[in-house]
Amino acid sequence: MMLSFDDTERAFAHKSCSDLKKAYRLFQTFSYPFLVKYGPAWSNVALSIGLPIKGMIKQTIFHQFCGGETIAESSPSALGLYENGIGAILDYSVEGEGSEEDFIRSFEELKQVILEAASKPEYPFAVFKCTGIGSFASLEKVSSGAKLFGDELKKYKEYCNRVDALCKLAYDNNVKLLIDAEDTWIQKAIDDLVYACMVKYNQDKCIVYNTIQMYRKDRLPEIENQIAVAKSGNYFLGLKLVRGAYMENERERAIDQGYPSPIQDTKKDTDDDYNSALELCFENKEIMNVMAGTHNEDSSYLLAKLLTDNNIKIDDDRFWFAQLYGMSDHISFNLAKAGFNVAKYLPYGPVKEVLPYLSRRAQENSSVKGQAGRELTLIQKEIRRRKKLSN
C-alpha cells in the first residue's frame, strides 16, 4: 500500500513559514510543566478581571487548536482543510457551569452546527457531548441504576428530549452525528440513550454514531454485544473508536473509591484492543460505519490496510479517519492525499469558555517523549526542508 505519514511537505502545505515557527514555539512551551499546570487558571482569572490577554491567547494556543469563536469565524479554517480533501467537524467546545440556561444555550448552538453541516460539504459530520446539554449528576445517578424523582426527573426527561431532537434534526437533514464518550461513571446512561436513538434513526443508513473508549477493559465484548443487538434489531451501528481521554481521572477515582480500575493495565493492552476493535468493526461492515478517531500511526495504518487489502474503495463512506485540529496533520493530510475519508474536529467557542479544552490539549502535548515531541520533530523537519529549498 502506498501510504506514508512522513511527507511533511504535504502535511504542512497549508501552513506558512511564520505559522510553522509559531506552532514550533507553542509546542516547545508545553514542555514547561508549570506553565501547562497553571497557565489556563491564570488566563481565566486574567480574562475575568478584564486584563487584555484575549488577543494574545487568540493568536497563540487558540489559533493552533481552534477554528474561531463562532461558526462563521471558523469557516476559513474549515475551507482550508476542505481544499486539502479534509472535512471539518464543528465542535462546540464550551464547557459551562452546568446550569439549565447553559444546556439550552448549547442545545440551540448545536442545532446550528447540524444545519451548517447540512448545507456545506466541508462539514461531513456534526458532534456533541451529552454533558453539554444535560446534568452530569443526573447522568451519574441514572448510570448507577438510581431512580430520579420530581424536578430532577423532569429535567432529565428534557435532556433526553434534547438528545433525541438533535438526532432527529440530523436524520431529517441527512447529517452524520457523533456523540462523544465521557467518564465511565456516566457512560451507561449516555450509551443507553444513544443506542435507543440508533434504533430510531439508523434504520436506512447510519446517522447516529456512539463513541467507544478502548482504554476500558470491557469494551471489546461490549462492541460484540452491540453488533449482535444491531443485527437482530435490523439497524446500522455507527461507532467512533477512540482510546480515551480521561485515564488519570478514571484511575484516581477508582483508587479513591476502592473499586478495580476500569482502565487497561498497560498502553499495549489499550493499543491491542483498539486494533482488535477496528478489525471486528471491519468484519461486520455490512451493518457498521466506523470512525477511527486517533493520532496513532499504527492504528491509522491498520484501517487503511484493511480497506486496501480487501479491495474496499478507500473513500467508502462507511470508513472515516479523524484527528483533532492542530494535531497530527502528518496523518490527516497524507491520508487525504492518498484518497481516504478524513475529517478533523474543529473546536470553536468564546476564548474564555474554551480554556478547559485548550488546557487538555496543552497537557496532552506536554510530554516531549510523546505527542509534542513528534509534532516538534515534524515541524522542525519541514522548516529545514523549506530552508534548504530557498538556499
Closer residue to ligand FAD in complex, CB, 35/245:
245
Q: Please give the Cα distance from 201 to 195 (Å, whole number).
A: 10
Q: Which of 93, 202, 211, 332 binds ligand FAD (CB under 6 A)?
A: 211
Looking at 4-12, 130-138, 145-153, 319-327, which segment touches ligand FAD (CB under 6 A)?
319-327
Closer residue to ligand FAD in complex, CB, 47/113:
113
Tally DSSP H helices, then E strands, for the chain. 17, 8
Smallest separation, CB 387 to ligand FAD (Å): 29
Q: Which of 65, 128, 185, 215 binds ligand FAD (CB under 6 A)?
A: 215
Contact between 365 and ligand FAD by CB under 6 A: the answer reads: no
Contact between 87 and ligand FAD by CB under 6 A: the answer reads: no
One-letter amino acid at 308 equals T
317 DSSP assignment: T
Q: With beta carbons less than 8 A apart as the criterion, state whether 176 and 209 touch.
A: yes
Q: Which of 173, 261, 275, 296 binds ligand FAD (CB under 6 A)?
A: 296
In whole angstroms, how large is the CA radius of gyration of the chain?
A: 21
Q: What is the CB neighbour count within 10 angstroms for residue 64?
A: 19
Contact between 320 and ligand FAD by CB under 6 A: the answer reads: no
| Residue closest to 301 by CA, chosen among 273, 245, 340, 344 | 340
Q: Which of 69, 116, 122, 180 binds ligand FAD (CB under 6 A)?
A: 180
Q: Please give the Cα distance from 242 to 14 (Å, whole number).
A: 26
Write each residue from 150 to 179 as x if it is in contact with ligand FAD (CB under 6 A), else as -, in one continuous string. ------------------------------
Contact between 216 and ligand FAD by CB under 6 A: the answer reads: no
Q: Which of 131, 202, 294, 366 binds ligand FAD (CB under 6 A)?
A: 294
Smallest separation, CB 204 to ligand FAD (Å): 25
Instruction: Classify burial at 124, counting beta carbons within 10 Å of its beta carbon; exposed 0-12, middle 13-18, buried 19 or more.
Output: buried
Closer residue to ligand FAD in complex, CB, 219/243:
243
Closer residue to ligand FAD in complex, CB, 62/320:
320
Q: Taken in order 65, 127, 172, 318, is the CA torsion positive or negative?
A: positive
Instruction: Classify burial at 118, counting beta carbons within 10 Å of its beta carbon; exposed 0-12, middle 13-18, buried 19 or more.
Output: middle
Contact between 40 and ligand FAD by CB under 6 A: the answer reads: no
Q: Which of 220, 245, 312, 383 binds ligand FAD (CB under 6 A)?
A: 245
Smallest separation, CB 144 to ligand FAD (Å): 20
The secondary structure of 18-51, three-state, reads HHHHHHHHHHHHCCCHHHHHHHHHHHHHHHHCCC
Write each residue from 339 to 358 as x if it is in contact with ligand FAD (CB under 6 A), else as -, in one continuous string. ------x-------------
Contact between 184 and ligand FAD by CB under 6 A: the answer reads: no
* Element housing 155 (H / E): helix 150-172
Looking at 164-172, 282-290, 320-328, 330-338, which segment touches ligand FAD (CB under 6 A)?
320-328
Q: Please give the Cα distance from 141 to 241 (Å, whole number).
A: 26
Q: Taken in order 256, 259, 260, 263, is the CA torsion positive or negative?
A: negative
Q: Which residues contact 374 (CB under 8 A, 6 or more apart)?
A: none
Task: Please report, as ranges, the residues that interact with ligand FAD according to CB under 6 A.
Answer: 180-181, 211, 213, 215, 242-247, 263-264, 266-267, 270, 293-296, 322-324, 345
